Amino acid sequence: MTLAQKPTTGTHTTPTELGARTRIQRHFTEVGKHPYELIEWEQRNTAITDESGNTFFEQDDVEVPAFWSQTATNVVVSKYFRGPLDGDRESSVKEMIDRVVGTIAGWGWEDDYFETKEEKETFEAELTYIILHQKATFNSPVWFNVGVGDKPPQCSACFILEAGDTMESILEWS
Protein backbone atom coordinates (compact mmCIF):
# COMPACT_ATOMS: atom_id res chain seq x y z
CA MET A 1 0.00 0.00 0.00
CA THR A 2 1.34 3.41 -0.90
CA LEU A 3 0.56 5.91 1.79
CA ALA A 4 -0.85 9.30 1.02
CA GLN A 5 1.43 12.13 1.99
CA LYS A 6 1.32 13.18 5.65
CA PRO A 7 0.39 16.63 6.84
CA THR A 8 3.47 18.64 7.71
CA THR A 9 3.92 20.89 10.71
CA GLY A 10 7.54 21.99 10.52
CA THR A 11 10.23 20.16 12.45
CA HIS A 12 9.25 16.70 13.53
CA THR A 13 10.59 14.75 16.48
CA THR A 14 9.83 11.04 16.47
CA PRO A 15 8.36 9.28 19.52
CA THR A 16 11.56 7.24 19.79
CA GLU A 17 13.61 10.44 20.05
CA LEU A 18 11.30 11.61 22.82
CA GLY A 19 11.25 8.20 24.52
CA ALA A 20 7.46 8.26 24.19
CA ARG A 21 6.22 5.47 21.97
CA THR A 22 2.53 4.79 22.10
CA ARG A 23 1.52 1.64 23.95
CA ILE A 24 -1.66 0.25 22.45
CA GLN A 25 -3.81 -2.32 24.22
CA ARG A 26 -7.01 -4.02 23.12
CA HIS A 27 -10.25 -2.95 24.77
CA PHE A 28 -12.94 -3.70 22.17
CA THR A 29 -11.30 -6.26 19.89
CA GLU A 30 -9.62 -9.67 20.02
CA VAL A 31 -6.49 -10.88 18.26
CA GLY A 32 -7.40 -12.77 15.09
CA LYS A 33 -10.95 -11.36 14.86
CA HIS A 34 -11.37 -8.34 12.61
CA PRO A 35 -14.14 -5.97 13.75
CA TYR A 36 -15.82 -6.35 10.34
CA GLU A 37 -16.24 -10.10 10.88
CA LEU A 38 -18.17 -9.63 14.13
CA ILE A 39 -21.15 -7.72 12.76
CA GLU A 40 -23.83 -8.21 10.16
CA TRP A 41 -23.51 -6.25 6.92
CA GLU A 42 -26.19 -5.43 4.37
CA GLN A 43 -26.56 -3.80 0.97
CA ARG A 44 -28.66 -0.65 0.91
CA ASN A 45 -29.67 2.06 -1.47
CA THR A 46 -29.19 5.66 -0.43
CA ALA A 47 -31.07 8.74 -1.50
CA ILE A 48 -31.30 12.27 -0.19
CA THR A 49 -34.19 14.42 -1.30
CA ASP A 50 -35.14 18.04 -0.83
CA GLU A 51 -38.39 19.25 0.73
CA SER A 52 -40.13 18.89 -2.66
CA GLY A 53 -39.13 15.26 -2.99
CA ASN A 54 -36.50 15.86 -5.67
CA THR A 55 -33.53 13.55 -5.31
CA PHE A 56 -30.21 15.37 -5.23
CA PHE A 57 -28.03 12.42 -4.17
CA GLU A 58 -28.39 8.71 -4.85
CA GLN A 59 -26.09 5.70 -4.68
CA ASP A 60 -27.33 2.12 -4.83
CA ASP A 61 -25.94 -1.14 -3.46
CA VAL A 62 -23.72 0.27 -0.74
CA GLU A 63 -22.45 -2.03 2.00
CA VAL A 64 -23.12 -0.79 5.54
CA PRO A 65 -23.42 -2.25 9.04
CA ALA A 66 -26.94 -3.60 9.49
CA PHE A 67 -27.35 -1.71 12.78
CA TRP A 68 -26.68 1.71 11.21
CA SER A 69 -29.73 3.91 10.66
CA GLN A 70 -30.73 4.94 7.17
CA THR A 71 -29.90 8.53 8.09
CA ALA A 72 -26.36 7.55 9.13
CA THR A 73 -26.04 5.59 5.89
CA ASN A 74 -27.23 8.51 3.75
CA VAL A 75 -24.90 11.01 5.42
CA VAL A 76 -21.79 8.81 5.33
CA VAL A 77 -22.31 7.65 1.75
CA SER A 78 -23.18 11.09 0.37
CA LYS A 79 -20.53 13.08 2.24
CA TYR A 80 -17.60 10.78 3.00
CA PHE A 81 -17.39 8.08 0.33
CA ARG A 82 -14.68 9.14 -2.11
CA GLY A 83 -14.83 9.14 -5.87
CA PRO A 84 -17.18 10.23 -8.64
CA LEU A 85 -20.66 8.73 -8.73
CA ASP A 86 -20.14 7.53 -12.28
CA GLY A 87 -16.69 6.06 -11.70
CA ASP A 88 -14.46 4.39 -9.18
CA ARG A 89 -16.33 5.43 -6.03
CA GLU A 90 -16.22 3.75 -2.64
CA SER A 91 -19.22 1.49 -2.19
CA SER A 92 -18.64 0.09 1.30
CA VAL A 93 -18.16 1.55 4.75
CA LYS A 94 -15.26 -0.92 4.98
CA GLU A 95 -13.45 0.88 2.14
CA MET A 96 -14.00 4.28 3.72
CA ILE A 97 -12.81 3.23 7.18
CA ASP A 98 -9.85 1.27 5.78
CA ARG A 99 -8.77 4.29 3.72
CA VAL A 100 -8.56 6.58 6.73
CA VAL A 101 -7.54 4.16 9.48
CA GLY A 102 -4.99 2.42 7.26
CA THR A 103 -3.41 5.72 6.27
CA ILE A 104 -3.17 6.99 9.85
CA ALA A 105 -1.78 3.67 11.09
CA GLY A 106 0.72 3.69 8.24
CA TRP A 107 1.90 7.16 9.24
CA GLY A 108 2.22 5.96 12.83
CA TRP A 109 4.32 3.00 11.71
CA GLU A 110 6.56 5.16 9.51
CA ASP A 111 7.10 7.62 12.36
CA ASP A 112 7.88 4.87 14.88
CA TYR A 113 4.83 5.33 17.11
CA PHE A 114 4.38 1.58 17.43
CA GLU A 115 6.97 -0.73 18.90
CA THR A 116 5.74 -3.80 17.01
CA LYS A 117 3.55 -4.72 14.04
CA GLU A 118 1.13 -6.21 16.59
CA GLU A 119 0.70 -2.80 18.22
CA LYS A 120 0.00 -1.24 14.83
CA GLU A 121 -2.57 -3.96 14.12
CA THR A 122 -4.13 -3.40 17.54
CA PHE A 123 -4.38 0.33 16.83
CA GLU A 124 -6.05 -0.34 13.48
CA ALA A 125 -8.51 -2.86 14.94
CA GLU A 126 -9.44 -0.67 17.92
CA LEU A 127 -9.89 2.49 15.84
CA THR A 128 -11.92 0.56 13.25
CA TYR A 129 -14.18 -0.82 15.99
CA ILE A 130 -14.68 2.64 17.55
CA ILE A 131 -15.67 4.20 14.22
CA LEU A 132 -17.72 1.22 13.04
CA HIS A 133 -19.78 1.22 16.25
CA GLN A 134 -20.22 5.00 16.14
CA LYS A 135 -18.51 5.54 19.49
CA ALA A 136 -16.44 8.35 17.96
CA THR A 137 -15.54 9.69 14.56
CA PHE A 138 -13.24 12.14 12.86
CA ASN A 139 -14.20 15.59 11.68
CA SER A 140 -15.21 16.04 8.05
CA PRO A 141 -11.83 17.21 6.73
CA VAL A 142 -10.27 13.91 7.81
CA TRP A 143 -12.89 11.87 5.91
CA PHE A 144 -12.63 14.20 2.90
CA ASN A 145 -8.86 14.24 2.63
CA VAL A 146 -6.98 11.43 4.41
CA GLY A 147 -5.89 8.60 2.15
CA VAL A 148 -6.76 10.58 -0.96
CA GLY A 149 -4.22 11.96 -3.40
CA ASP A 150 -0.56 12.82 -3.26
CA LYS A 151 -0.47 16.15 -1.48
CA PRO A 152 -0.55 16.55 2.33
CA PRO A 153 -4.17 16.37 3.50
CA GLN A 154 -5.96 19.20 5.25
CA CYS A 155 -7.22 17.50 8.42
CA SER A 156 -8.38 20.51 10.42
CA ALA A 157 -11.67 22.34 10.35
CA CYS A 158 -10.43 25.15 12.58
CA PHE A 159 -7.19 27.06 12.58
CA ILE A 160 -5.34 28.98 15.22
CA LEU A 161 -3.25 31.68 13.63
CA GLU A 162 -0.99 34.13 15.37
CA ALA A 163 -2.04 37.63 14.47
CA GLY A 164 -0.61 40.76 15.99
CA ASP A 165 -2.75 43.62 17.22
CA THR A 166 -2.41 45.60 14.00
CA MET A 167 -4.43 45.77 10.81
CA GLU A 168 -1.36 44.77 8.80
CA SER A 169 -0.92 41.60 10.85
CA ILE A 170 -4.60 40.69 10.59
CA LEU A 171 -4.67 41.33 6.83
CA GLU A 172 -1.71 38.97 6.33
CA TRP A 173 -4.12 36.07 7.00
CA SER A 174 -6.98 37.25 4.79
The three-class DSSP label of residue 31 is coil
Other C-beta atoms closer than 10 Å to the C-beta of 142 total 19
Is residue 24 one of the residues assigned to a domain? Answer: yes
Q: 51 lies in a domain? A: yes
Residue 103 lies in a domain: yes
Calculate mean pLDDT across residues 120-143.
97
Question: What is the total count of domains within the chain?
Answer: 1
Report pTM: 0.80
pLDDT per position as a tens digit, 142-157: 999 999 877 778 887 7
Q: Which residue range forms the structural domain that includes residue 156?
A: 16-172
φ, ψ of residue 99 to 5 degrees: the values are -60, -50
* pLDDT (tens digit per residue) in 43-59: 999 999 999 999 999 99
The answer to whether residue 62 scores a pLDDT higher than 70 is yes
The answer, yes or no, to whether residue 96 has pLDDT greater than 60, is: yes
**Burial level of 148, CB count in 10 A (0-12/13-18/19+)?**
middle
Contacts of residue 145, Cβ cutoff 8 Å, sequence gap at least 6: 153, 154, 155
Establish if 60 belongs to a structural domain: yes
Whether the predicted pLDDT of 173 surpasses 80: no
Would residue 1 count as lying in a domain? no
Which residue, 107, 142, 141, is CA-closest to 123?
107
In a domain, 62, yes or no: yes
Q: What is the mean pLDDT of the chain?
A: 87
6 part of a folded domain? no
2 domain residue, yes or no: no
Query: At a CB cut-off of 8 Å and minimum separation 6, what does 59 contact?
Result: 45, 46, 77, 78, 81, 85, 89, 91
